[in-house]
Chain A
Amino acid sequence: MATSYGPLSVWAVIVAGGLATFAIRLSFIHLFGRVDEVPGWLERALVYVPAAVLAALVVPDFTPAGATIGALVSPEIVGGAAAVAAAWQTEDVLWTVAAGMAGLHLARFLL
């Protein structure tokens, strides 16, 4: 999954993403007095951004390649399931990643 983009493209993404992120952070801190509040409609939308974006990012990574048993219980899916269980229980990144990696390698060993 190594990128085939050259250095210029990668740096362009880093700089553009960084400038945009800085603009977001600075927005109201800079404008305070002129604009004091996030508009209500935007605030309501922002509440659902993490759930929607993270789900759209991560779920395709865990989609089975087919409907066979072998595809459904791939090491990745076992690891992902272990991670979800750990995240549910602990809400902790360290435990979630540890459980997911353990599940992945255990399943690779056993399957």
Chain B
Amino acid sequence: MDSRFPPDLRAGVRDTLPLLLGIVPFALVAGVAGVEAGLTPLQTAGLSVVVFAGASQLAAIELLGQDAALGVVVLTVVVVNLRMLMYSASIAPYFRDLSARVRAGCAYLLTDQAYALALARYASDRDREGTTRRPYYYLGVALTLWVVWQVGTVVGVVFGAAVPDGWRLGFAVPLVFLALLVPAVSDAPSLAAALVAAAVAVAGAGLPFNAGLIVGAVGGVATGIAVDEAGLGAAGEGDDDGIGGDGVDGNDGVDSDDTDADGGGDHDGQSDRAGGR
């Protein structure tokens, strides 16, 4: 890359490249699915620009396609993205000295992968006496992901519109959810959370306002906490060093984040609870 860019920015871009293998198909699906669900190309691209969070975009597309209540669609987007509260809290100290405007830009670009890579880098600065200039490394990662996400969405829109219905590309949406769900079920409490949420959602499938989805999700989270409290999950004690483990495992672009924002060390990075992006 052009050496006029700050080295930390280039390092961020370089570290992001291996993740793109996971991001590109995800972005394509976001584009294809929007068109399949009856959104216009502009709306589908707008979703990627305005929301810029893959799992929640697919959830919104799926629910709009089912003509779910609009409030339920927005609520689902919020719930799917709530995990980013933890990223925001965890990375905030590193952005403390930036201007409000730059911080707002960094916040807009915050994703699972940008968080995981940047936190690992900033945290390792302490060990190797490094001085990564903030926010360049973060921006290198986050902007690369943003550009690839937008281009991928547009390619997906064009591709999705050109492909015959017989290919059933819309089926990729639940498949992506499965790709995110399986790694998210990493221990007994999360398995219990998923099972209860699924059972309630199936039982309540015909209810108005997608009550099955909402009640199922809430019941699932409550079950996960209850099972954890009962000690079945043997969850590790979180240390409070503020470093989210290794955070990045590099072999899967989408769920490589460590959502256990200040815990660290109680799981291995392979079985991270996924959030999707």
Chain A residues 67 to 83 lying within 8 A of chain B, measured CB to CB, are 76, 79-80, 83
Interface residue stretch chosen among B6-14, B116-124, B196-204: B196-204
Query: How many B residues have CB within 8 A of the partner chain?
Result: 111
List chain A residues, Cβ under 8 A from B29: 97
Q: B255 an interface residue at 8 Å Cβ cutoff? A: yes
User: Given A48-B225, A97-B172: A54 and B51 within 8 A (CB)?
Assistant: no
Task: Flag if A25 contacts B64 (CB, 8 Å).
Answer: no
Complex: A26 Cα to B87 Cα, angstroms: 10
List chain A residues, Cβ under 8 A from B39: 3, 10
Instruction: Name the residue among B29, B191, B202 with the largest chain A CB count within 10 angstroms.
Output: B202
User: Given A3-B38, A3-B64, A62-B174: A92 and B79 within 8 A (CB)?
Assistant: no
Q: A106 an interface residue at 8 Å Cβ cutoff? A: no
Task: Flag if B171 contacts A76 (CB, 8 Å).
Answer: yes
Number of A-B contacts (CB under 8 A): 311
Task: Flag if B43 contacts A14 (CB, 8 Å).
Answer: yes
Task: Flag if A94 contacts B21 (CB, 8 Å).
Answer: yes
Task: Flag if B104 contacts A26 (CB, 8 Å).
Answer: yes
Task: Flag if B197 contacts A53 (CB, 8 Å).
Answer: yes
- B interface vs A, CB < 8 Å? 21-22, 25-26, 29, 36-40, 43, 46-47, 50-53, 55-56, 59-60, 62, 64-67, 70, 73-74, 76-93, 95-96, 100, 103-104, 106-108, 110, 168, 170-172, 174-185, 189-191, 193-198, 200-202, 205, 212-213, 216-221, 223-225, 228, 251-255, 259-262, 270, 273-276
Provide a sorted-by-A list of 21 A–B residue pairs whose CB atoms are within 8 angstroms: A1-B65, A3-B64, A14-B60, A17-B50, A17-B51, A18-B50, A24-B85, A26-B104, A44-B225, A46-B86, A46-B259, A47-B189, A50-B276, A51-B273, A52-B216, A53-B220, A57-B213, A60-B198, A63-B202, A93-B22, A96-B179
